[in-house]
């Protein structure tokens, strides 16, 4: 098993300080999380910093996740006192609902005010969770840099949305140490940690272990397997043979197999998958 996955560049320490400094200037926080890993993609540092301030939780990449689990997680977060919205920030699905939600909060804020003030919000979330895509949807232009690698956004940006709304963008923030190694794995599966620092074949093996338990049928259907192996390694080798990922001498190309399975999980080619069910 991959242990002690940690990725905490220096700019993330600055981001924590940035959030602390600017939190008092905003009316609410929009926390973007990955619907496939709703627990692992919620940074406990953000919980500590935000406290009781009004919060909207955006279950992003909900199109890649299990629809029933999306509903269950949304219900749980609502019970905890949050506003919740399932979105696909890349395509814009759910964007109009979010604007309506923000408009209601703005109007409520200014209900008894003699002079109307803009609604100011902060967008937060771990790297590569889709914050920049959401910002671009809200502003209607490419205000924030996007990329499918974590750590694209750096520094602080105030952006005008129009309609008396402003938002503060912040870079993605992880925390220095994952107490639960499964959190690090889940973030790695979904691309929140740079692939360059991981062994992709071993990461794939860990993913297959999870999928064999949670979504065995999807795994068999995608890779045309009549049955799964007794172990994740055997299943990985069956997938390699089906795809023809064989090196000279009949050796399994674990690297190519690993990259294929990870990529197809991330793109939902295997199917709509939530790695963390509501307990």
Cα–Cα distance, 60 to 69 (Å, whole number): 13
Q: The whole model's pTM is what?
A: 0.85
Query: 211 and 118 share a domain?
Result: no
Domain count, the chain: 2
Asked if 121 and 245 sit in the same domain, the reply is no
150 and 240 fall within a common domain: no
Considering only residues 258 and 136, tell me which one the structure prediction assigns the higher pLDDT: 258
Section 173-192 average pLDDT: 77
- Tell me the helix, strand and coil percentages in the chain, rounded to 5: 45, 15, 40
Residues 30, 164, single domain; the answer is: yes
Report how far residue 106's alpha carbon sits from residue 109's, in angstroms, rounded to the nearest whole number.
Answer: 5
Q: CA 87, 90, 91, 95 torsion: positive or negative?
A: positive
Residue-number span of the structural domain to which 165 is assigned = 10-169
Q: Kindly report, residue by residue over 77-89, the tens digit of the pLDDT.
A: 999 999 999 999 8
DSSP class of residue 12 equals H
Task: Name the residue with higher pLDDT: 175 or 196.
Answer: 196
3-state helix/strand/coil string of 104-165: HHHHHHCCCCCCCCCEEEEEECCCCCCHHHHHHHHHCCCCCCCCCCCCCCCCCEEEEEECCE
| SS3 assignment, position 34 | strand
pLDDT of 44 higher than 60? yes
Residues 103-136 have pLDDT tens digits of 999 999 998 888 888 999 988 887 788 888 898 8
In whole angstroms, how far apart are CA 152 and each of 31, 148, 205, 237? 17, 8, 28, 35
Torsion of CA 262, 263, 268, 273, to 10 degrees: 10
Nearest alpha carbon to residue 244 among 259, 261, 257: 257
Whether 186 is in a domain gets the answer no
Whether residue 222 is predicted with pLDDT greater than 60 in this model: the reply is: yes
């Amino acid at each position: 098993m991959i242990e002690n996955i940690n990725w905490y560049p220096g700019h993330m320490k600055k981001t924590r300080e940035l959030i602390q400094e600017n939190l008092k200037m905003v009316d609410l926080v929009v926390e973007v999380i990955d619907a496939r890993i709703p627990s692992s993609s919620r940074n406990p540092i953000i919980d500590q910093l935000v406290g009781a301030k009004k919060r909207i939780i955006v279950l992003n990449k909900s199109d890649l996740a299990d629809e029933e689990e999306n509903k269950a997680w949304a219900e749980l977060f609502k019970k905890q006192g949050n506003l919740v919205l399932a979105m696909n920030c890349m395509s814009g699905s759910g964007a109009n609902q979010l604007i309506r939600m923000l408009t209601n909060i703005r109007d409520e804020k200014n209900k008894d005010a003699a002079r109307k003030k803009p609604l100011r919000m902060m967008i937060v979330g771990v790297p590569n969770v889709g914050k920049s895509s959401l910002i671009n949807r809200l502003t209607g232009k490419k205000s924030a840099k996007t990329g499918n690698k974590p750590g694209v956004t750096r520094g602080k940006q105030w952006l005008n949305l129009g309609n008396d709304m402003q938002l503060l963008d912040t870079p993605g923030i992880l925390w220095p140490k994952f107490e639960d190694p499964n959190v690090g794995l889940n973030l790695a599966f979904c691309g929140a940690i740079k692939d360059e620092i991981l062994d992709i074949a071993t990461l794939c093996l860990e993913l297959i272990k999870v999928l064999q338990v949670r979504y065995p049928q999807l795994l068999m259907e995608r890779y045309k397997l009549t049955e799964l192996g007794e172990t994740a390694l055997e299943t990985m080798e069956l997938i390699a043979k089906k795809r023809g990922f064989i090196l000279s001498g009949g050796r399994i190309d674990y690297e190519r197999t690993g990259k294929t399975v990870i990529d197809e999980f991330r793109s939902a080619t295997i199917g709509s998958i939530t790695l963390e069910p509501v307990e």
